[in-house]
Structure 1
Amino acid sequence: MTTDFPLSRTTHPTPGAERAAILADPGFGRYFTDHMATATWTPASGWHDHKIGPLEPFSMHPSTAVLHYAQEIFEGMKAYRHADGSVWLFRPDANARRFARSAARLALPQLPEEDFLTSVAELVRADEVWVPTPTDEESLYLRPFMFASEAFLGVRPAARATYCVIASPAGPYFPSGVTGVTLWISSEYTRAAKGGTGTAKCGGNYAASLAAQIEAQEHGCDQVMYLDSAGENTLEESGTMNVCLITADGRLVTPALGTILEGVTRDTVLSLAADFGLTPEERSISLGELRSGAADGSITEVFAAGTAAVITPMVGFKGEGYAFTVGDGTPGKHTMALRDHVLDIQYGRAEDKHGWMRRVL
């Protein structure tokens, strides 16, 4: 049974002129809307105190469990305004299912999927004026998260958890155009090991990625490309996104699940592959295959897939003592066609044959 998230409106909304200025140049993750969704879990009461209320800071005891043991998960998704003024979510059910899987892995209580969907939709309705009217790729970014909020010291699952959704208007990820990125193939850092938290969307995974990201920047690269932790030199993920390869014989290949995040955009691309004459494959991909394929032309395009940037062309790679380019060093035609088509579905410019869009307003 779905739980309501009743709305208590803020008495101090952002002034209209200030909000308009923010929406004219929102960037990413810099500004936040007027409200947030929250709920609390305890063993005795289960999930309770569901509400949409004013955006406000949390008050936390210094011993709050998340500060010491990183028991925390989150999701990333967007709300899109269509040309007729309606507002839609893209595959929110997939985010709800992944949120539940992440909670199970981090020993957090699982929020019912319908409650996840209701909380997100009700927050968007409360802050509808913050959903940009797109001139490029503007949207309202949504961040559902959950953390251990019990005050205690001790290594065990917390007996209190807090769930929250906040929203932030977002501008185009590539404001100057999609030109492609270069990745540093790290031989120093790995992202996850079998049995670890690689399949969960938790803050600790991202905290651990920061040193590798700095390493990539020190080598003149935009992001890091991780190899497996078992020393087999197989591709896993980029720093924040799943990786896909396109071959000269028409295959769309991506690393198999197991230690990587089950990305919603990754699954979307796999589902759309056949529409673009591509055969999807989920399997192990070695660094040697990537290097030799880029050299002999059997691998023609590489891209990353994720919510924030949708699809990002990867045009070059560097590692210890080597560097190579993919194709002619510019975004590939399949990459850009897939990117455009996903965006067209999200913004209502193309038919949603898969039933991925969920109307909110």
Structure 2
Amino acid sequence: MSLAFPLHRNESPLPDGDRETILAAPGFGQYFTDHMTSASWTAEAGWHDGKVTALAPITLHPAAAVLHYAQEIFEGLKAFRHADGSIWLFRPDLNARRFAHSARRLALPVLDEEAFIASVEALLRADESWVPSHDSGMSLYLRPFMYGAEAFLGVRPAAQVSYHVIASPAASYFSGGGSGVTLWVSSTYTRAAEGGTGRAKCGGNYAASLAAQVEAHENGCHQVLYLSEPGRGYLEESGTMNLFLVTDERELITPGLGTILDGVTRASVLELAAEHDLKAVERQVGIDELRERCASGSICEMFAAGTAAVITPILGIKGEGFEQVVGGGEPGGSTLAIRDHIVGIQRGRLADSHRWLRRVV
């Protein structure tokens, strides 16, 4: 029997007026809904005690495995309100699949796809009033996460694990980034290596990225662009997004999987490429090739893709001793068309011919 998530309703939800004030300008990841989903796993009992309860602090023993050995994974997906008031998830099956892959890599128990989706839907039904209006241009961001909760000091997989889902109303991820961002090519840091955790969505990857992000901000850039080696080698991904290049020959190039995250938006862009007269190509691209082809104009657009940022135009790259504009320094036509296509499907303005949406309410 699949894990169930019965609702134990919050007896003191945020007043309607306060919630509406938040929804008018939520920012990203700053406010949270009234409820949370929870479940537990032990080596003896497996998954159990699924429920939706009032949002509350989590109590951890000081020796909890996650605090010492970073045994933790997470996901991110969005819910959208359509014009008729219905609420939909975008490709939650891919998030469920990636969550299972991350669990295996971090030696955590696998939560099956059905239970993962049920846990997200249960929270969404409890907090449907938190999903922003159709005409707001915003969404409800959902964050499932799992961590080693067992209290012990020793390097082994935790025998007690906790799982939760929380939700946060979300506007644009980058402040002013909808018109485009600039990336810093780090000569100091790399993101991942073959055999590492690059394809897992785990907190340690993001903690390790913070110094590179600070470096990018100190150099006037929005985010970092990682290469396979510090300052040289092949493009991998941004600190929070997958990368795409558009050429004058209508190729849509993105680094292949291996050490990068298998993004849900990335997969969607690749599937939509042909509908935009683009040939999808997954291959390595060196930083020298990128700079030379941007300078010649044969790479005419660059963009990043991710759940939080959707499709974000990249207007330029900077690094030690160089600064390169992409295209004319403005968002490209293919970039904007792909963004409009994905957002149109998510918000119910365009036909869901790929059957990517899942109705919840």
Q: What TM-score bracket applies, with the shorter chain setting the length?
A: over 0.9
1:183-218 per-residue CA deviation (whole Å, 9 max, x = no partner) reads: 110111000000000000000000000000111111
Partner of 1:138: 138
Q: Quick check: 1:192–1:229 contact (8 Å CA) kept in 2?
A: no
Give the Cα separation in 2 of the matches to 1:10 and 1:253.
47
Give the Cα separation in 2 of the matches to 1:83 and 1:38.
31
Q: Quick check: 2:188–2:230 contact (8 Å CA) kept in 1?
A: no
Partner of 1:310: 310
Partner of 2:331: 331
Q: Quick check: 1:132–1:138 contact (8 Å CA) kept in 2?
A: yes
Deviation at 1:289, TM superposition (A): 1.1
Partner of 2:158: 158
| 1:41-190 matched pairs, under 5 angstroms | 41-173=41-173, 176=176, 178-190=178-190
Give the Cα separation in 1 of the matches to 2:179 and 2:171.
17
Q: Quick check: 2:186–2:230 contact (8 Å CA) kept in 1?
A: no
Give the Cα separation in 1 of the matches to 2:271 and 2:23.
33
Deviation at 1:174, TM superposition (A): 5.5
| 1:265-276 matched pairs, under 5 angstroms | 265-276=265-276
Q: Quick check: 1:191–1:229 contact (8 Å CA) kept in 2?
A: no
Give the Cα separation in 2 of the matches to 1:264 and 1:220.
29
Give the Cα separation in 1 of the matches to 2:41 and 2:156.
16
Paired-residue identity, %: 63
Partner of 1:319: 319
Q: Quick check: 1:138–1:172 contact (8 Å CA) kept in 2?
A: yes
1:79-128 per-residue CA deviation (whole Å, 9 max, x = no partner) reads: 00000000000000000000000000000000011000000011000001
Q: Quick check: 2:241–2:304 contact (8 Å CA) kept in 1?
A: yes
Deviation at 1:323, TM superposition (A): 0.9
Q: Provide TM-score, normalisation by structure 2.
A: 0.98
Between 338-347 and 223-232, the greater mean CA deviation after superposition: 223-232
Partner of 1:234: 234
| 1:178-217 matched pairs, under 5 angstroms | 178-217=178-217
Give the Cα separation in 2 of the matches to 1:127 and 1:302.
37
1:239-294 per-residue CA deviation (whole Å, 9 max, x = no partner) reads: 10000000000000000000000000000000000000000001111111100110
Give the paired residue count: 361
Consecutive unaligned residues in structure 2, runs of 5 or more: none
Give the Cα separation in 2 of the matches to 1:11 and 1:79.
24
Give the Cα separation in 2 of the matches to 1:93 and 1:103.
15
Q: Secondary structure at the match of 2:135?
A: coil
Q: Quick check: 1:79–1:131 contact (8 Å CA) kept in 2?
A: yes
Q: Secondary structure at the match of 1:108?
A: coil
1:138-183 per-residue CA deviation (whole Å, 9 max, x = no partner) reads: 1100000000000010000000000000001112345657221111
Give the Cα separation in 1 of the matches to 2:2 and 2:140.
24
Q: Secondary structure at the match of 2:28?
A: coil
Q: Secondary structure at the match of 1:135?
A: helix
Give the Cα separation in 2 of the matches to 1:169 and 1:27.
8
Q: Secondary structure at the match of 1:265?
A: helix
Q: Secondary structure at the match of 1:156?
A: coil
Give the Cα separation in 1 of the matches to 2:59 and 2:177.
41
Q: Quick check: 2:199–2:260 contact (8 Å CA) kept in 1?
A: yes
Give the Cα separation in 2 of the matches to 1:115 and 1:336.
35
Q: Quick check: 2:186–2:231 contact (8 Å CA) kept in 1?
A: no
Deviation at 1:25, TM superposition (A): 1.0
1:292-334 per-residue CA deviation (whole Å, 9 max, x = no partner) reads: 1101111000000000110010011111111110111000000
The letter for the 1-side match of 2:287 is: L
The letter for the 2-side match of 1:218 is: E
Give the Cα separation in 1 of the matches to 2:125 and 2:167.
11
Partner of 2:243: 243
The letter for the 2-side match of 1:105 is: R
Q: Secondary structure at the match of 1:228?
A: strand
Give the Cα separation in 2 of the matches to 1:106 and 1:177.
33
Give the Cα separation in 1 of the matches to 2:62 and 2:260.
33
Between 317-326 and 96-105, the greater mean CA deviation after superposition: 317-326
Q: Provide TM-score, normalisation by structure 1.
A: 0.98
1:296 aligns with 2:309: no
